[in-house]
Amino acid sequence: MTAVSGLPVALTIAGSDSGGGAGIQADLKTFEALGVFGTSALTCVTAQNPGAVTGIEPLSPSLVAGQIAAVLDAFPVRAAKTGMLYSKEIILAVAAALDRPDAPPLVVDPVLIAASGARLLRENAVAALRDRLLPLATVITPNIPEAELLWGRPIRDARTALSAALDLRDRFGTSVLLKGGHLKTRGSVLDCWAPRRGAPVVFRHRRWTGRETHGCGCTFSAAVTALMARGRPVGQSVRRAGDFVAAALAAARPAGRHRPLHFAAAGAAIGARL
């Protein structure tokens, strides 16, 4: 992808997190921190904080599709991402809305279950995700539990994580970033990257203790999207997005009794290297 002139634009299609640490809120904060103008299509409203999801209200699929169309018709969107989609009907509406000649490169974060354990994708929607949305993706960014569900096998270590990433790449015809935060690797987080062509790569980042990981997955996929919108190649976007999340964790500060990611500090740290 060539360099972008003017202010780059990205689109997030996801749910709202009332606690501000994940979902649309995390995506837009990440876009801003990385110098990208953020647009959005809301799929669901949640009553949520870092510890629990206590309510979910989905929007109508037609309104979700209408938001996407309104953004794509008005802005030169350079990259888009999906997060929480919740239902089969919303997934089908999103896939149809993005099935157009001018659709931007797409990052699909297959959000299935919140860190608190709440299910964020209905069971009958998984097939629609596999069959209709994942084939449209430029990159998919599952975490370990999500990859296990899509792959159909357990992932216990870096070796099986690499195998899963390669198999998912071949199955869906897209590049795969398998986020490794759930792996029990001592001292480091190992993220497995399987590009559409070529050998896989493992990126290693420090594992921070005493930090909340709520929103890390959303932030990672949003950072990939923002960097792609800025014209960075997909592989470089994935590598730098991991650096962004690590920097946001390192700079985390208390907010009440929680310790959320520090988006602005991460943007300042990573922006100096872009």
Q: Give the pLDDT of residue 180.
A: 81
Residues of the chain with pLDDT > 70, as a percent, come to 93
> Under CATH, what is the fold of the domain 9-268?
UDP-N-acetylmuramoyl-L-alanine:D-glutamate ligase (3.40.1190)
Residue 162 has pLDDT above 70, yes or no: yes
Q: What is the pLDDT of residue 115?
A: 64
Q: What is the mean pLDDT of the chain?
A: 90
- pLDDT: which is higher, 234 or 206: 234
Higher pLDDT, 141 or 255: 141
Strands 77-82 and 9-17: parallel
Pick the residue with more confidence: 197 or 274? 197
CA 231, CA 222: separation in Å to the nearest integer? Answer: 14
Whether pLDDT at 1 is above 90: no
For residue 25, what are the CA distances in angstroms to 39, 173, 181?
A: 11, 30, 21
Tell me the mean pLDDT in the region 178-191: 79
Mean pLDDT for the stretch of residues 180-206: 84
pLDDT value at 156 more than 90? no
What would the mean pLDDT of 154-166 be, rounded to a whole number? 91
Instruction: Report the pLDDT value the prediction gives residue 184, as an integer from 0 to 100.
Output: 72
State mean pLDDT over 36-43: 98
Q: How confident is the model at residue 114 (pLDDT cuts 50, 70, 90)?
A: low
Read off the pLDDT of each residue in 135-162 and give the average, rounded to a whole number. 92
Residue 243 has a pLDDT of 93
pLDDT confidence bin for 258, thresholds 50/70/90: confident
Residue 158 pLDDT:
85
pLDDT of residue 2: 42
Give residue 163's region: left, alpha or beta (phi > 0; psi -120 to 50).
Answer: alpha
- What does the alpha-carbon distance between residue 16 and residue 28 come to, in Å, rounded to a whole number? 11
Residues 241-252 have a mean pLDDT of: 92
The residues spanned by each domain of the chain are 9-268
144, pLDDT greater than 80: yes
Q: What is the mean predicted confidence (pLDDT) over 58-78?
A: 97
Go through 33-53 and write b for each residue having 16 or more CB atoms within 10 A of its CB, e for each that does not.
bbebbbbbbbbbbbebbbeeb
Give the C-alpha distances (Å, rounded to integers) separating 45 from 23, 38, 93, 113, 236: 10, 18, 17, 15, 33
- pLDDT for 88 beyond 80: yes
**222 sits in which H/E element:** helix 216-229
For 209, phi and psi rounded to 5 degrees?
-95, 155
Instruction: Give DSSP secondary structure letters for 158-196.
Output: HHHHHHHHHHHHHHHTSEEEEB-TTS--SSEEEEEEE-S
